[in-house]
Chain A
Amino acid sequence: MKEYLQLIVGGLFLQEETYAKMRDVAKPFGKGLVIVAGIGLVVGVLNYIGAIIDYATKPSLEQLKATVFQGLTGMAWYTQLEASREFVTQFKNGYDLFWQYAGSMFVRNPLSVMEISNVVLIPLGLIIGWLIYGLLAHLFARLLRGDGQLGRGLGALALATSPQIFQIVAVIPAGGVGIGVIGLWSLVGNYLALKTAYRLTPARAFWAAILPLVVYAVVILVLALVGFLAIAAAIRGGGR
């Protein structure tokens, strides 16, 4: 336990000797998996506690929903349209549907399936993200003439997930980490991990850390384009 904590703290605070230690340990992949899963589980459990605290310190969703409904239906646009029974029914249905799906954005419900399953999904997501990034980074590190094995690379990269632990501040109301901070911190950790595990020069380690993110961006862009094309085709088809 103490060894894992030392590894996490060393990884978090960018100590190169910790990354080198992780590269050289026996079974680096197994140890890395324990670290990523452990961090994910801590974050997942504390995220659930955060949902309980959020539930207790905010007004009920029903109250919020009723107040917003009262506000919206008191506006001029609604009073002009409320003569139509069809409009009133459709509006009410749409309004209920919105709160059913988006209500958790305003008040979290610790009894919801999403909140409960997040205890498992958060560590799982972290592990999957670590594996995908690790595979891509391994590929680029080798292309950039890096000298290292996948297991050792993944072991070192596991330490770079340690900034995720800061998500626990969101347990407290109004607490949270700034946008991009965890990603940026992890990126610096990834750079150190790749530099150490694959014995790369700083410039090559930088590119090995960045290029997997470029792949992510390209995939997202392609998916978005395909999505837009599909919608455009549907509009064209519907117009005929």
Chain B
Amino acid sequence: MNTWISLAIGALTFKTETYQQFKRAADVFLRGFVVLVIVALIVGAFNSGVEKLSEAVKPTPTLAEVQRQVAEGFRQNYYGPAEMQPMIEGYIRDGVQMVYSIIALEPRFVPRGVTSFLEWIGETISTPLQFGWVGWLLLGGVFVHFAARWLGGKGTIAQLVGLGALAFLPRLLDVLSALVQLVVNLTGVDALGLIGSLIGWIVLIWSVAMYVKATSVAEELSLGRAVGAIVIAGAVMVGIVIGVIVVAIVFGIAVGGMFGAAG
């Protein structure tokens, strides 16, 4: 336990020897993944718990309230013909009523409270395996590793993703964001949400700085080159996304043309 705490403190305070010691472990990615799982489980349990608690404490909105809220949202974003509006709003009311009836259906065998508890466990356990956690770690790891090698990096991909996982430690502060959100949900004071935004920015900047440090140690690069590797990796990822969109558009136009010719 002490080892993990001193690891977390050393990593959060950018101690080079902590990163280097971590890198030398044969099971560096396993250790990094454990760090990520612990952080994600704590954050996931709080986020999901806050959601469930808010649902339990706050009175369930009535059908009429939900219909009114959805209709208001629609009106604010509707720019179509005015004569169509009442008809669409009617469908929205009916649709909301249908969804409301579906949500009100009782589970077949297991009581709703137990189902809700199981869902909380499911959401919590799944958190580290979501794209925003281990998915980003691996995707970023692949691109940064090859960009780093191009800039003279000497690490392995396991070392980079293992050390990169340490950059998730600042996300423990998301627990504070979740608690702030709970207060917002219970009191209705939306202004408190600004504290959540501020925490979000601190987490982002701290995590990025730690990822630069992790890349620098894992790939044996200077901090400047580590930043360069991350920027190059980001640019390549954006380039690929744009490329895929262009191919999809060209494919869509080609297929559309075929159907046009057929018609």
Interface residues of A (CB under 8 A from B): 9, 13-17, 53, 55-60, 63-64, 67-68, 70-72, 74-77, 166, 169, 172-181, 184-185, 187-188, 191-192, 202-203, 206, 221, 225, 228-229, 231-233, 235-236, 239
User: Does the CB pair A180–B110 fall under 8 Å?
Assistant: no
Q: Given A13-B27, A233-B262, A239-B263, check contact A228 B122 (CB 8 Å).
A: no
* Cα(A225)–Cα(B257), bound, Å: 12
Interface of B is mostly: helix
Question: A8 to nearest B CB, angstroms?
Answer: 12
Partner of A74 from B94, B102, B115, B132 at Cβ < 8 Å: B94
Determine if B123 and A175 form an interchain contact, defined as CB atoms under 8 angstroms apart: yes
State A228–B138 Cα separation when bound (angstroms). 35
What residues of chain A lie closer than 8 Å to B126, measured between beta carbons?
169, 174-178
Is there contact, CB below 8 Å, between A59 and B105?
A: yes
A169-B126, A173-B118, A174-B126 are contacts. A56–B158 as well, Cβ < 8 Å?
Answer: no
- Taking beta carbons and an 8 Å cutoff, which residues of B are in contact with A? 26-27, 29-30, 33, 87, 90-91, 94-95, 97-98, 101-102, 105-110, 114-115, 118-123, 125-126, 129-135, 138-139, 141-142, 146, 149, 156-158, 161, 251, 255, 258-259, 261-263
B97:A174 contact, CB within 8 angstroms: no
Q: A57, B115: Cβ atoms under 8 Å?
A: yes
Taking a contact as CB atoms under 8 Å apart, the answer to whether B101 and A70 are in contact is yes
Report chain B residues within 8 Å CB of A16: 156, 158
B110 contacts A57, CB within 8 Å? yes
| Interface residue from B107, B120, B139, B263 paired with A59 (Cβ < 8 Å) | B107
Provide the bound-state CA to CA distance between A232 and B251, in Å.
15
CA distance A203 to B142 in the complex (A): 12
| Closest Cβ neighbor of A68 among chain B residues | B98
Inter-chain pairs besides A63-B105, A232-B259, 19 sampled, C-beta below 8 Å: A14-B157, A15-B30, A56-B108, A57-B108, A59-B107, A71-B97, A71-B101, A76-B90, A172-B121, A174-B122, A175-B122, A175-B126, A178-B130, A178-B133, A181-B130, A184-B139, A184-B142, A188-B161, A235-B259
Residues of A close to B114: CB separation below 8 A: 57
> Would you list 12 pairs from A and B whose C-beta atoms are within 8 A, ordered by A residue?
A14-B157, A58-B108, A67-B101, A67-B102, A76-B87, A177-B129, A178-B131, A178-B134, A191-B142, A221-B251, A232-B259, A233-B262
CB <8 Å contact, B146 and A202: yes
Complex contacts, A169 vs chain B, CB 8 Å: 122, 125-126, 129
| A-B CB proximity, top 7 nearest | A71-B98, A175-B122, A59-B105, A172-B122, A178-B131, A174-B122, A232-B262
Q: Select which of B27, B110, B142 is within 8 A of A56 by beta carbon.
A: B110
State whether A174 touches B129 (Cβ < 8 A).
no
* Interface residue from A63, A181, A232 paired with B135 (Cβ < 8 Å): A181
State the CA gap A63–B118 with chains docked (Å): 22
Chain A contacts of B119 at CB under 8 A? 173-174
Q: How long is the Cα–Cα vector from A228 to B260 in the complex, in angstroms?
A: 12
